[in-house]
């Protein structure tokens, strides 16, 4: 399929009032990476900066007692039992803007799933990816985890399916509310070519057992990556990171 080079890799639609726009993920993980990792570990910084951070649509909190879930949000005057809930005031705005036949179909902001402690949270965004690309939804890479929460990962073929960009999560503690704030990422979205998660690609692997399975080219590559830089006390810190950055600058030139 031909692709317009000017077409963005992802187009986000922020549709709830006051929604914070996604932002490019930070290679320093919001300043939480150790300085040594930020300076010298290209693998860690590349992972942290791969994709976009997505934030909650509104400040809110969830509380789970082991059976039922309650929730509250910025501007609410109490805690409320959670089944399925809309963003405050969004249903009317959606029905006013939607074409005929789509009224009443606004996506919920948050909902309790049938399994104990499981919740679905919408970011207030819709998303569409470039043809042939999918979106991996996951916990923010290399950021400290939000206490009391475990996120499920998901791959969305957002070039074929257009809808709310959400995350499923599990509440892992009881008795103490879990707060979700707009100044902290809720999840990270990473673009991946659809062929990378297709059955043909994932079935295309092999395992060579034992050192006898190492071909001469493998030994040469090991020497170049690991041994040669360390001979005679060499291999300054960050050597591989510097090489990767030089290569990226050359490719961008």
Tokens of 82: 């959670």
**Predicted local distance difference test score (pLDDT) of residue 245:** 63
pLDDT means per 10 residues, the chain with 253 residues, are: 71 94 93 85 91 97 97 96 96 96 96 97 97 97 94 97 97 96 97 96 95 96 87 65 67 72
Q: How far apart (Å, rounded) are the C-alpha atoms in residues 26 and 50?
A: 8
Q: How far apart (Å, rounded) are the C-alpha atoms in residues 92 and 101?
A: 14
In degrees rounded to 5, what are phi and psi of residue 35? -55, -40
pTM for this model (two decimals): 0.87
Q: How far apart (Å, rounded) are the C-alpha atoms in residues 44 and 77?
A: 42
Our measurement of the distance from residue 152's CA atom to the centroid of its chain's CA atoms, rounded to an integer in Å, reads 10
Q: How far apart (Å, rounded) are the C-alpha atoms in residues 43 and 21?
A: 27
Per domain, the residue ranges of the chain are 10-201, 214-252
What kind of fold does domain 10-201 have according to CATH? Deoxyuridine 5'-Triphosphate Nucleotidohydrolase; Chain A (2.70.40)
């Amino acid at each position: 399929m031909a692709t317009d080079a000017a077409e963005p890799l992802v187009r986000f639609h922020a549709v709830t009032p006051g929604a914070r726009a996604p932002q490019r993920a930070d290679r320093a993980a919001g300043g939480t990476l150790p300085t040594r990792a930020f300076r010298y570990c290209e693998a860690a910084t590349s992972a942290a900066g791969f994709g976009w951070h997505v934030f909650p649509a509104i400040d809110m909190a969830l509380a789970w007692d082991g059976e039922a879930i309650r929730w509250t949000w910025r501007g609410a005057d109490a805690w409320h039992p959670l089944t399925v809930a809309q963003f405050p005031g969004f249903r009317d705005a959606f029905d006013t803007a939607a074409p005929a036949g789509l009224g009443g179909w606004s996506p919920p902001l948050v909902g309790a799933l049938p399994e104990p402690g499981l919740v679905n949270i919408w970011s207030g965004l819709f998303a569409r990816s470039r043809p042939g690309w999918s979106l991996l939804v996951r916990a923010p890479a290399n950021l400290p985890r939000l206490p009391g929460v475990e996120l499920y990962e998901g791959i969305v073929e957002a070039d074929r399916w257009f809808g709310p960009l959400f995350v499923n999560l599990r509440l892992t503690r009881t008795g103490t509310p879990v707060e979700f704030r707009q100044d902290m990422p809720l999840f990270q979205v990473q673009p991946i070519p659809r062929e990378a998660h297709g059955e043909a690609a994932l079935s295309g692997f092999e395992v060579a057992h034992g050192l006898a399975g190492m071909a001469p080219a493998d030994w040469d590559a090991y020497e170049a990556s690991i041994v040669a830089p360390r001979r005679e006390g060499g291999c300054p810190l960050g050597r591989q990171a510097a090489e990767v950055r030089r290569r990226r600058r050359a490719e961008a030139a």
